[in-house]
Structure formats: structure tokens, C-alpha cells
Amino acid sequence: MSKEKNVVTLTYGCQMSERDAETLTEITRQEGYNRTNDLENADLIIVNTCCVRESAENKILGKIGDLKKLKDNNPNLKIAISGCMVQQPGALERLQKRAPHVDIWMGTHNLHEFSELLHRSDTGAKVAEIWQEPHETKESTPLAEKGKLQANVNIMYGCDNFCSYCIVPHVRGRERSRKPDDIVQEIKNLVANGCKEVTLLGQNVNSYGKDFVPPYDFADLLQEVDQIPDLLRIRFITSHPKDLSDKLIQAIAKGSKLCEHVHLPLQSGSNSILACMNRQYTREYYMSIVEKIRELLPQATLTTDIIVGFPGETEEDFEQTLAMINSVHYSQAFTFMYSKRSGTPAASMEDQIPLQVKKQRLQKLMSLQNEESYQLRQRMIGKCYEVLVEGPSKNNPNRLTGRTRGNILVVFDGPQEIIGSLVSLRILEAGSWTLVGELVESK
Ligand code: 5AD
Ligand code: SF4
């Protein structure tokens, strides 16, 4: 019998990137590989990359460099690098020079070719495949993993927004939506394999279906998915504020499985910075959406992404971002220092902000948000929330963990049998990030 082959998949970046990594791992499973975390005994290592910020790229380049030692010790080891970093215009040559120990390079539009590329590299040949354009019918590989409670499902690919700081439209191509029937079928299959919660993924889910003739609305897709039997919860990311419709807010209010959580990237609270970022909304417009959500979905949690130190950002601009944190009351904010991405308009804007200033602003923003998160969680003490039980807690395997509909993590004591079901928990204690709860009743 031939020796079992092991694959280790490392992935960086957003959920879209994670979903791609799952696709690649599924392809290797079909090729007879067994998934492990053991780099030393791997026959294949996949590094699925991200290039949204320079810090991510540096970390990944370091990791790829580290893999050389493993390749030196085991010349039969195959190393495959995929994802956004590889797809950047002109990146391949630079990367190949820097990491000659890599066997396979593939761009974001070539995932479906992975098994072919693996075979082509059997002779020891170095292979690279990077399409500049996607191939519409080849984008989603269904996943066959059984017993997974939560799954990410692509509903669309790419982005048309060209925010001036962002590399994503340059490496993921133009917006293209998957057909509603294909999405519903994929989710039904996942549910048949034990999945209870899906997260619908797109760079801008609110413009889902606008590329169809006649156009189709994201809110209608949500209502269709809401009908799928045995699915317990539906989440979605990311919502671009400029495209978030009243119909969507109403659909969330109506749908029984639709979780009341909206990830609504603000990026900046200053109108002049928002204009330079090409975000196509003002702080006033953003606030009007927040008010509508608060009115129709009083239980909803809001999370956001914010960039500090965009070129030209003054102290006053930054103060306006802080003011938005005070008025929106996010349950969580993902905060970033602006990072120059070559090929994007912001990279050549004047008045780049010094690193020291960016760091100070990030610190200030994070401590304000931590306080907000803490206060929000404190207000939950004593109240009951529906939680989907996910499994043992990472920090204490004797306890269970799950998330509220608002996507807030709770740890609690309970029997293993309730994993995968909805329970009601009363909140007992709260920190900035986690809640401690107790079981009230099983639903
Ligand atoms: N620099 C810093 N943050 C960025 N993001 C995207 N591009 C950049 C950049 N060049 C952030 C945005 C986006 C999140 C996924 O990453 O906030 O919403
Ligand atoms: Fe990037 Fe803007 Fe598209 Fe989001 S909406 S992926 S920030 S270009």
C-alpha cells in the first residue's frame, strides 16, 4: 500500500481567502491527501496568501522563507502558493526570485486547476498559472467535509468599488454573482452534511445580483436561503454602506434565521477623507443607515472596519472618526493603519502620514473601541440570549462556547450533546471580548 500523503494548508486574510483555502484543501482530499497541521511530516504545504496590507505580506513572505528548511530536508515536499499576493500585477517574477524553493504558483482565478498543477509538478518541474481574468463557471468547488457546523458560502466574487486604498479589485476582478439556485443547492448540501450556520460571502453583498438581467436583489436571496429546512442561522459579510437597502433591513427583521448583525465598514468618519477614499457616502448618510437599523432591528449589533492615517488625514479628520465610534456603538471594530498598496491611487497621493502618527492614532482608536465593547458587553449582564453551541472552548475544553445572534462569543458549562443546537443563555459576567453565561433552557 502506498504511504498516506499529508497536506498542511496555511491561510491568511479575509473569509473569502479562507473559503479559497478550503476549496484547495478539498481538491487535495480528492487527490488522496490527508489534512494535518504537522509541517514537519507534510508532503504538500499550501500557503494561501493575502496582500491587503504590507504587514500581511511581510508575515507571509517570512513564512514562505521558513519553508525552505523543510524543503531542504525533504526534497519530495511540494510547496504551493496561491491567492491575492500571487495575483498582483508583476508579482510572480519577484516572488519566484525570492522563493525558488516553491513548486506551484497560482492566482486567484486558477484554483480549479490545482489538481492538474499538482500532477504537472510531479516531475519536479516548477509550475505557475495566473489568469488575468476569471472563468465564470469554474469558481466554486463544493465542500464535502461532514459534520462542520459552520460554513462560508461565496455568493459573489470580485469588487467594482475601487476604494482608492484597496488592492482587492485589482486581484479579485470585477463583481460577478453566482446564480441563486446554485447557492441554495450548495447550502442544502452543506445542511445535509450537518451544517447549521452559513455565512454568505462577498466583498459587497449588497450589490449581489445587480449584474443579472433582470437584476436580482440580495434581500430576495436572503429570503430564499431563510426557507432552507434544518438550517439554523444565516450571516453575511460584507455590506458596503452605499448599497445597503431598506429592503435588506426589512428582510433581516422578517427572516427567522437571519442574524441581526451587520458588518458595515466605515473606514473613516471624515467626509473629506471618505471622498478621497472613493467610498461614495458621507458620515451623515452612514449615520442615517445606522439609525434605520436601530429602529427596525433594535437588537442588532454593528461591527466595522476603520483605517487610520489615510494620506492627508488631519487630527480633525481623525477626531471625526473617534466621534463616530462614540455615536454608533459598535460591538467590535477591526482597525488598521493605512498601508500603501502599489497600483492603487492612494499610494501616490501627497501627504502620506508618518508611521509614528498612524501608530498613535491606532492606539487611541483601539482604546476607545475597547471601552465601547466593554460597556456594550456589561449591558448584556443579566439578560438572556439565543446561542448556537459551537463546541468546547479553546481556552478551557471543559466549557462550551457559542455565539449570540449578534456574533458575540459566550463561554458556559453544559453537556456535549447540545453542540450544534440553539440554547438560551443568561449572561453572568462580561469582559471586553468574551461573555460568561449559564444555560437557561434547551430549545
Ligand atoms: N491599508 C489599510 N487597510 C486596508 N484595508 C483595505 N485596504 C487597506 C490598506 N491599503 C482594510 C479596509 C477593509 C479591510 C478588509 O481591510 O478597512 O475594509
Ligand atoms: Fe476594497 Fe472597497 Fe472593494 Fe471593500 S469595497 S474590497 S475596501 S475596493
CA geometry: angle 37, 99, 78, nearest 5 deg: 45
**Model's pTM, two decimal places?**
0.94
* DSSP at 354: P
More confidently predicted of 146 and 36: 36
- Residues 143-189: tens digit of each pLDDT: 766 778 999 999 999 999 999 999 999 999 999 999 999 999 999 99
Comparing 44-58, 134-148, 315-329, 420-434, the range with the smallest average pLDDT is 134-148
What's the CA-to-centroid distance between 247 and ligand 2, angstroms?
22
| Residue nearest to ligand 1 atom 6, measured at CA | 166
CB-based contact 352:366 (threshold 8 Å): no
Report the pLDDT averaged over residues 390-409.
Answer: 94
Asked whether the bond before 238 is cis by omega within 30 degrees of 0, the reply is yes
| Distance separating alpha carbons of residues 406 and 261, to the nearest angstrom | 5
Q: Label residue 346 by pLDDT band (50, 70, 90).
A: very high
Report the pLDDT averaged over residues 245-266.
Answer: 95
What per-residue confidence (pLDDT) applies to 48? 97
What per-residue confidence (pLDDT) applies to 86? 96
Q: Which atom of ligand 1 is nearest to the CA of 339?
A: 1
CB-based contact 116:106 (threshold 8 Å): no
Whether the pLDDT of residue 364 is over 60: the answer is yes
- Residues 424-442: tens digit of each pLDDT: 999 999 987 789 999 996 5
What's the CA-to-centroid distance between 267 and ligand 1, angstroms?
8
What's the CA-to-centroid distance between 24 and ligand 2, angstroms?
24
- Residues 76-90: tens digit of each pLDDT: 999 999 999 999 988
- Residues 89-102: tens digit of each pLDDT: 889 999 999 999 99
- Nearest ligand atom owner, CA of 54: 1
What per-residue confidence (pLDDT) applies to 282? 98
Output the CA–CA distances (angstroms, integers) from residue 267 to 305, 333, 369, 424, in the order listed.
6, 10, 14, 35
What per-residue confidence (pLDDT) applies to 229? 96
- Residues 196-216: tens digit of each pLDDT: 999 999 999 999 999 999 999
Q: What is the percentage of the chain residues whose pLDDT exceeds 90? A: 90
What's the CA-to-centroid distance between 169 and ligand 2, angstroms?
7
How far is the first Cα of the chain from the last one, in angstroms, to the nearest whole number?
48
What per-residue confidence (pLDDT) applies to 131? 83
Partner residues linked to 81 by β-bridges: 47, 105
Protein residues with CB under 6 Å of any ligand 2 atom: 159, 161-163, 166, 168-169, 203-204, 240
Buried (b) or exposed (e) across 363-386, using 16+ Cβ within 10 A? eebeebbeebbeebbeebeeeebb
What's the CA-to-centroid distance between 56 and ligand 1, angstroms?
11
Report the pLDDT averaged over residues 269-278.
Answer: 98
**Could you tell me the strand order of the sheet in which 261-263 lies?**
261-263, 301-308, 332-337
For helices 315-328 and 355-378, give the axis angle rounded to 10 degrees.
10
What per-residue confidence (pLDDT) applies to 249? 96
Nearest Cα neighbor of 204 from 250, 252, 246, 236 is 236
Q: How far is CA 391 from the centre of its chain?
A: 21
215: amino acid identity, one letter: P
Output the CA–CA distances (angstroms, integers) from residue 124 to 79, 329, 355, in the order listed.
11, 55, 43
Comparing 57-61, 120-124, 136-140, the range with the smallest average pLDDT is 136-140
- Nearest ligand atom owner, CA of 340: 1
To the nearest whole number, what is the mean pLDDT of the chain? 94
Site to probe by mutation for ligand 2, drawn from 203, 206, 304 as the one with most ligand atoms within 8 Å of Cβ, is: 203
What's the CA-to-centroid distance between 379 and ligand 2, angstroms?
33
Cell of 149: 457546523
CB-based contact 263:287 (threshold 8 Å): no
What per-residue confidence (pLDDT) applies to 97? 95
CB atoms within 10 A of CB 396: 11
- Nearest ligand atom owner, CA of 344: 1
- Nearest ligand atom owner, CA of 335: 1
